[in-house]
Amino acid sequence: MILEELASEAGKLGLPFLLIGGHAVNFHGYSRFTKDVDFLINRDCLPRWSELLKAHGYNLSQTGPTFCQFENKDSNVPGVDLMLVNEQTFQKLFARARVETKGSISIPLVCAEHLIALKLHVLKQDLEHRRLKDFLDVVEIVRASKIDLQSEEMRGIFTKYGTEDLYQRIKLATE
């Protein structure tokens, strides 16, 4: 599977990353289909990540200030999305990551609270095609991880990355 291949290669090349997106949701206990692989990386590592992906048959298909999307020449191979953050943000998120093992591969996984923050950031943008999926992801991560939504940390995450309405709706959905 491409996730394991890329994680292994990144490890060999000393390219730090965090698994985010649908695969991270699955590792946090809520199984759902995902068609791509999402990594959070230090933006300074993008040239090396681009080389790695090119070596695996990927081409850059879309880019923005905080993300790059890559498609494989083989349409049967999942796409790869890279979320780009600065070194300070990467280190902050990496410090709370947990490592999952898949076969002989170690995969650093964003912690549940940070994954929720990433999902809230997208939900706050109110993108119609992402609305339901990301809302359900947050609800199920909260349930699976037994997160106390009333904790100071979670209130702060919702205040910074979400909205009061999202907080109330997710709280209601998890009761």
pLDDT in tens, 118-146: 999 999 988 898 899 999 999 999 999 99
Alpha helices in the chain (DSSP H): 2-13, 21-27, 46-55, 87-95, 112-124, 131-145, 152-161, 164-174
pLDDT at res. 105: 86
Q: Is residue 113 classed as helix, strand or coil in its secondary structure?
A: helix
Write out pLDDT tens, residues 23-54.
999 999 998 888 899 999 999 999 999 999 99
Question: Domain map of the chain by residue range?
Answer: 1-110, 111-175
pLDDT at res. 165: 94
Q: How many CB atoms lie within 10 A of CB 28?
A: 21
Binning pLDDT at 50, 70 and 90, where does residue 59 land?
very high
Name residue 29's amino acid: G
Q: In this model, does residue 65 exceed pLDDT 90?
A: yes
Q: Model-level pTM greater than 0.85?
A: yes
Would you tell me which CATH number, out of the four given (3.30.460.40, 3.40.50.11930, 3.90.226.10, 2.60.40.1120), belongs to the domain 1-110? 3.30.460.40
pLDDT at res. 43: 97
pLDDT at res. 73: 94
The bridge status of strand 98-102 relative to strand 79-85 is unpaired
